[in-house]
Structure 1
Amino acid sequence: MSQEEDRFHAHSFIPRRRGNWAQHSSYILIALCALILYLTEQSIRHVAQCFIIHFVALQVGALFKGICTFTEEVHHVSARYRGKYFKALNACLDLRRHGLLLLLCGAAYLLLPKETGLPLCLKLSLVCLCQLLAIVFGLQNPSAAEISELCERNNLNVAHGLAWSYYIGYLKIILPRLKDSISVFSENNKSLLKCKKTWKLHILIPLNCEVYDNLWKADSHIQFINNLPEVSVDRAGIKRRTYKNSVHGILDENQKMHCCVVEYATPLQSLYAMSQDDSAAFSRQDRLEQAKLFCRTLEEILGKSKECSGCYQLIVYDDSGENDKHFLSKEILRHLKQQDREEYAMCEKEEGCIRTQNCRPVEETELLISDYDQPLSLHSDSN
């Protein structure tokens, strides 16, 4: 992981991807159990026999669980598995893996000398009974953390789909054309957006997902100035479908205007609407988690897109419980001022680029996350 990614993931707002600590911990516990068995000085044959019996019982329990699941899936074979029963059965349990393990354990048990005690069939029946009771009472259900990890590893989250849809259906279309649109706009509005380093789309990502259709309703210090020229493309059967972005002016404490192209990330509206609809079964906590994952996924997607490089800036913030009615404008200005402070030297080198409140160049696009402190550095460590 690069230092830039470390700075991004280090922020408390956005969770980093899960690692392999659970697997490493299992290795440590296996070694600890082996050490305990060694110190107890039990007969190796007896320990091996008990181990095989319990291992076989676990596999049989998994088979029983798969069979119970199959009794439900068999009613959906036509709709979910195209009428293929074997495919439905394979979705419920791994026949090859479980079958092979059972054969190996059975062969190993037959090679071990038999000891007095309960018959093998009775031992397996008792252990399997315990496994089935655990299934019935839900003791083997995955935890919330396991479900979350499974969804993240397999990209099954709502946020993942929304981020890709937002990128493919919108950002990938407008960002490569954004600078051309701003160039045309600047020819008729030469007092605005003078420095080319500011020619990017500033995307607002509120973690509470409250998105306003008009930015001035969120903050009266944000004023609409004009729209950029429309981008027209043929899209999904729609001839000359149009896309456009808006230039807004941000007033500071001295009533000076700072101009930039800024808008909300529209998929957040879907997350907010889902949390307000009971039929979606989507809680506020789910919304917050998915908003964070949306932010992380979008940053990862855009970070790998050469077409969109240098054309965007993500501004993530959390204004829940914030009483300042001008919080959003101050948040945007704080980032813009940070850019002006760090990139002013580069801006001066550009021909005809004069330092004004409207000139805030940025060399590298980086995710900016506010936590009531100064914004993160915009300098790239790779330069």
Structure 2
Amino acid sequence: MFGVIGEDLVPRARSRLPVVCNAGLGLFTLVFVWLLDADRFMERAGMIAFCLTVAAFIHSMCLFAEEWFFHSRQRYHGRISEIFQACFKGHVILGMCAIFLMLMLGGVSFSHEQLSTMAIRCAVYLLLNSLGVLGLTPVQISEICEVKKMNVAHGLAWSFYIGYLKLILPVLQNKISQYSSTGARLSSPRLHILLPLNAVVPSEPEEEDTNVVFHENLPELELDMAGVRKRSYKNSVYKITQNNETFSCVLEYATPLRTLYQMSQESSAGFGERERKQQVLLFYRTLKQILENSLECRNRYRLILLNDEHTGDPHQLSRVIIQHLKQQDGEIHMDPIPEPPNEVYPVPEEGQIGTFLSADQMSSVPSLMFSLPQSLRSEPVETTDY
């Protein structure tokens, strides 16, 4: 039994608020310290910044050693330039050099005590970094995976679109027309895709709700795909009954959710229930963005995100589907307006303004009409024949 999920539960993309807060607090602290001790502010700030960049550079050197000694052939084909780009951040090296030159040109000299302090700071940074204290938080890792499209959900959503939806949705209208020619009628011309939040995908919707009954399949789509001749793609029509009222639509579950569920059942995948729900929501958001940006799939689908909380109603699934079907009755879909042909009309000569466009062209094709340039000091000239 399922209930519909509101869009407010779907996670949005993370903003740049932490970066703005960090920058604001850092600048405020620097200004405060500068007001307290303006004389030695540049020297102390430069020394601390230099220590941090040197420590980051040393850490990059350690990464470079690992990649060079053990992974140069397998990962980089022996190319030192690629290893260097993978281990060193360009702004770290540039920042270290810039700060060093600034300190040297400013005539700043370090005493033995200051050099010792810098060395201790670098050592503490390296130790804390090796212990994971300065490592990325789960939120930062999640943000990186979402920005770089590295989540399991991203790959599954793109695979579902490229390998299936992009093939069947553009021809869905033709298949429905063939189906309707037999006298049958659908309540909606869209493909309705069910996405349970718990990723439990039954083999038949009747297992979840007896009011959802298989009727028949649409005409098959056969394509030569990946070495398989005449691979068959099918879509099924279901009858949904409620209060002596029957609806029919093309319905199916999102099959990639079965992969997410099976991964959560394997201990080696490291994929718990909480991670599974997050990936389902991310799969829904990613797939929705992909389909909204696809001109050939627009207005041909309906994503239905289902809650996994048991409401005790054995016919909750049919209620949710019918709710979506009724909601579509009031929607107005605007087809893209075709652009007029890029035709060039000749500029009329003097005395032909009324004849260079026909009446049909004036009523159907918007155009700009320009008058010939005239001197500002010339008198009006009669151009008609009468």
Q: Kindly tell me: are residues 71 and 322 of structure 1, through their superposed partners in 2, closer, same or farther at Cα, counting changes over 3 Å?
A: farther
Conserved 8 A contact 1:49-1:112: no
Q: In the alignment, what sits opposite 2:72?
A: 77
How much does 1:53 deviate? 1.1
How much does 1:167 deviate? 0.6
- Provide the secondary structure at the position in 1 that maps to 2:312: coil
Q: In the alignment, what sits opposite 1:192?
A: 185
Question: What is the TM-score of this pair, normalised by structure 2?
Answer: 0.80
How far, CA to CA, are the matches of 2:320 and 2:6 in structure 1? 20
Does residue 28 of structure 2 align to residue 32 of structure 1? yes
Q: Kindly tell me: are residues 228 and 110 of structure 1, through their superposed partners in 2, closer, same or farther at Cα, counting changes over 3 Å?
A: same
1:330-349 equivalent positions in 2, closer than 5 A: 330-340=319-329, 342-343=330-331
- The counterpart of 2:314, out of the listed 315, 325, 332, is 325
How far, CA to CA, are the matches of 2:312 and 2:162 in structure 1? 36
Conserved 8 A contact 1:310-1:364: no
Q: Kindly tell me: are residues 114 and 244 of structure 1, through their superposed partners in 2, closer, same or farther at Cα, counting changes over 3 Å?
A: closer
Gapped runs of 5+ residues in structure 2? 336-386
Q: Kindly tell me: are residues 183 and 147 of structure 1, through their superposed partners in 2, closer, same or farther at Cα, counting changes over 3 Å?
A: same
Conserved 8 A contact 1:230-1:243: yes
Q: In the alignment, what sits opposite 1:229?
A: 219
The structure whose RCO (Cα within 8 Å, separation 6+) is larger is 2
1:147-226 equivalent positions in 2, closer than 5 A: 147-188=141-182, 190-193=183-186, 198-226=188-216
How far, CA to CA, are the matches of 1:277 and 1:210 in structure 2? 15
- The counterpart of 2:288, out of the listed 273, 279, 299, is 299
Q: In the alignment, what sits opposite 1:269?
A: 258
How far, CA to CA, are the matches of 2:272 and 2:292 in structure 1? 30
Q: In the alignment, what sits opposite 2:333?
A: 363
Moved more, 155-164 or 70-79: 70-79
Q: Kindly tell me: are residues 184 and 116 of structure 1, through their superposed partners in 2, closer, same or farther at Cα, counting changes over 3 Å?
A: closer
Q: Kindly tell me: are residues 10 and 57 of structure 1, through their superposed partners in 2, closer, same or farther at Cα, counting changes over 3 Å?
A: farther
How much does 1:72 deviate? 2.9
How much does 1:79 deviate? 1.2
- Provide the secondary structure at the position in 1 that maps to 2:169: helix
Q: Kindly tell me: are residues 116 and 305 of structure 1, through their superposed partners in 2, closer, same or farther at Cα, counting changes over 3 Å?
A: closer
How much does 1:13 deviate? 1.7
Conserved 8 A contact 2:57-2:93: no
After superposition, the C-alpha distances for 1:233-265 in whole angstroms (9 at most, x for unaligned) are 12122221110100001111x243210001011
Conserved 8 A contact 1:223-1:250: yes
- The counterpart of 1:141, out of the listed 135, 139, 145, is 135
Does residue 235 of structure 2 align to residue 238 of structure 1? no
How much does 1:62 deviate? 1.0
After superposition, the C-alpha distances for 1:30-67 in whole angstroms (9 at most, x for unaligned) are 33113312431x133x1111111111111111112222
How far, CA to CA, are the matches of 2:13 and 2:152 in structure 1? 16
- Provide the secondary structure at the position in 2 that maps to 1:128: helix
- Provide the secondary structure at the position in 2 that maps to 1:12: helix
- The total of aligned residue pairs comes to 330
How far, CA to CA, are the matches of 1:10 and 1:56 in structure 2? 50
1:1-40 equivalent positions in 2, closer than 5 A: 11-40=7-36
How far, CA to CA, are the matches of 2:159 and 2:172 in structure 1? 19
How much does 1:364 deviate? 6.9
How much does 1:10 deviate? 8.2
- Provide the secondary structure at the position in 2 that maps to 1:176: coil
Name the Cα RMSD after superposition.
Answer: 2.1
Moved more, 318-327 or 302-311: 318-327
- Provide the secondary structure at the position in 1 that maps to 2:302: strand
Gapped runs of 5+ residues in structure 1? 1-8, 344-361, 366-383
Q: Kindly tell me: are residues 116 and 175 of structure 1, through their superposed partners in 2, closer, same or farther at Cα, counting changes over 3 Å?
A: closer
How far, CA to CA, are the matches of 2:184 and 2:38 in structure 1? 88
How much does 1:323 deviate? 2.8
When Rg is computed on C-alpha atoms for both structures, the one with the higher figure is: 2
Letter aligned with residue 228 of structure 1? L
Does residue 87 of structure 2 align to residue 87 of structure 1? no
Question: What is the TM-score of this pair, normalised by structure 1?
Answer: 0.81
How far, CA to CA, are the matches of 2:262 and 2:35 in structure 1? 59
